[in-house]
Amino acid sequence: MNDKSILRMTQAGVVGALVFVATYFIKVPMILGYIHLGDGLILAGAALLGPIVWLPAAIGSSLADFMGGYSLFILPTFLIKGAVGYLAGRLLQKGHEAPRVLLSFIFCELVMVLGYFITEIFLYSFAGAVASIAGNLVQGLSGVVIGLILMPAMATLGRKPAFHS
């Protein structure tokens, strides 16, 4: 194993841990679930890791569901947040221009809203799923804003340090 692959695994582990912490510990409860900062870290982590961010996104988010007692959502969260991370990583590979990043993040969060809408149809009902759209849209908006704020810092973590031993 070379230094670069060790660095990438370490970065992925840190992103996964940050996603978990931002999802589990920093949250605002709502009627169905909660709003958290984890989505923003997934989107920002895509600037650092690219599409491979799907794995730390999926693990960190579903671990937060497990620890929070949302066991019905562990598998859907794994799939949905993994998809959000993968899509964000793929879209950011095409460029980091501000309009592209904003539109990419919005698209990814709409995928999240759609994923939970479909999940909640099966778990609750169509009416219950419709009722959760507003909360998921607020969650998505917070993810876009946090992702845009944190993305420049995450992107610089992937660059070679100025002082290298």
CATH code of the domain containing 81:
1.10.1760.20
Within a domain: 165: no
Within a domain: 1: no
Question: Could you tell me the pTM of the whole model?
Answer: 0.92
Task: Decide if pLDDT at 18 tops 70.
Answer: yes
The 10s digit of each residue's pLDDT in 104-132 is 999 999 999 999 999 999 999 999 999 99
Q: Which SS3 state, helix, strand or coil, does residue 42 take?
A: helix
If you average pLDDT over residues 38-55, what whole number do you get?
96
Find the angle CA(156)-CA(107)-CA(10) to the nearest 5 degrees.
35
Within a domain: 10: no
Query: Which residue in the block uniquely carries the two structure tokens 């849209």?
Result: 137
Within a domain: 92: yes
Query: Could you list the residue range(s) of the whole structural domain that residue 99 is in?
Result: 15-24+35-157
Sign, CA dihedral 49-92-115-30, equals positive
CB atoms within 10 A of CB 87: 21
Number of domains in the chain: 1
Spatial neighbors of 31 by CB under 8 A, at least 6 apart, are 131, 135
Within a domain: 162: no
Q: How confident is the model at residue 1 (pLDDT cuts 50, 70, 90)?
A: confident
